[in-house]
Structure 1
Amino acid sequence: MTTLAASGFLSIGASDLEYRMIGPAPDQAPTIVMLHEGLGSAALWGDFPDRLRAATGAGVFVYSRAGYGASSAVTLPRPLDYMQREALDVLPKLLDRIGFRRGVLVGHSDGASIAAIYAGCVQDHRLRGLVMIAPHFVVEDVSVAAIAEIKTAYETTNLRDKLARWHRNVDNAFHGWNRAWLDPKFRSWDISDDLAYIRVPVAILQGADDQYGTMRQIEIARQECYCPLEVTILREAGHSPHREAPEATLMMVTEFVDAVLQTQQRGSEGRTAQGLPT
């Protein structure tokens, strides 16, 4: 593996994927790899990766999947199994390329689903835990309705201009995601069986007011997971708890990461007054 710069692009398959590393490289320290939402990107995480680095002491690696951010565009329409392809074809290559040795996947929405597929289908001894923020395991009516509303907003409001701030190829990003979810055949998408094969601790963070999913997703996880499972419901949050309730989200993720990676000691010996690792 070649030495990685703090930010840049990685060539994975036919795509150039933008990335950013905060803290030590993945081959040097425990690392949190962050997988963004269906319309997300590396930049759209905001300062949450930096705050996670400061709170946990672990390195943090964020990247934009193909079709998002400044990464290469994808051919449209996306295949309806695009999340499985990301989890089984792209993510293993990326983890190997960055020298991933031990760490946690933190995924949001589509990214959480990709993380679940990976953990359930790839028995990776390097993976010590999984954080899923607003995950989807099946398609719900409420999800389809909300995504249909976004399509109308994209076509009739300034939503396209807002998203263009985060995506170099904004139409590629939006239509790749939106058209897949609104395809009638996508209603049969179901990854719940993969949950039974996850062999690392899992934490799920769900906003009580999530417009894209209901507590059915949590019920499925509780029914299917045999691994240790923690569920946190945030009443003050919707689909993006790390933006809507950042302090509570940071605390939950930090406690979980500390427990599974043991990156620092408990109590005052492990933290300064500012809450940073010593």
Structure 2
Amino acid sequence: MPARVEDQKDVPKAALMSYKKEQDKLTDDLRRQARQAYYASVSFMDAQTGRVLAALDRLGLRDNTIVVFTSDHGYHLGEHGLWQKQSLFEESTRVPLIVAGPGVTKPGVAVSPVGLIDLYPTLAGLCGVKTPVNLQGQNLAPTLQDVSVEGRGWALTQVVRGGGFKRFGASPSVGDNVHRFFGYSLRTDRWRYTEWDEGKEGRELYDHKADTKEITNLADDPSEAAVVAELSAKLHEAVKASFPADGKTPELRPEMWAPNLTNP
């Protein structure tokens, strides 16, 4: 039997499209091995980080170096019946973000959501480098100096799915007449709200105060209608603010999906 879970029943189909048929062949032993390999990779990276920090100390550069530990995405290990990445669930969208060095006054933990798009303005701010006025990211230097200082209070994530729709200004062309649509997810301190193809392919709402594993989709719960309306408006505003001035996203071309090629 394929590795499925009960919480998939109230989830839009688009949310599970990263599922791969190869997963049906996973035995319990292979799943254990895969999880073991993942945690071994985490331990390996922890050791390599230690080597970098030791080198900075040895060279006398620690007090003049900003160190950032992060990742480009999270990773599913069977949660929601998924493995690897390319989802809008917490397992795939959440990444570590640890910053140390000049400008970080004392150790602390900030819990307000931020995004990788904030790294450039933050590093520029810590280094005293002037940045363009139209940056989408926020400078997190004030938070690094005082963790009680909150930023915008949300993080936006997107993925592309297959389909036949053209909304949110998305170009439908990828390869030979293959159409795609976007999924966008807004994460606040308490909520995760997701829309697939502007809601046409489904919506998701999870209350992280009571449901940190994102098991129960509350998007169609009448008692949460006001929350859905508020977060939907905020999500649409955030997405449209990320578009070029003409309101259209660049065309999605096949070469943009090849990491070893330079985008034109």
Q: Same fold (TM over 0.5)?
A: no
TM-score category, normalised to shorter length: under 0.3
> Which has a greater percent of helix?
1
Q: TM-score, normalised by structure 1?
A: 0.25
Larger relative contact order (C-alpha < 8 A, sep ≥ 6)? 1
Look at both structures and tell me which one has the larger radius of gyration over its CA atoms: 2
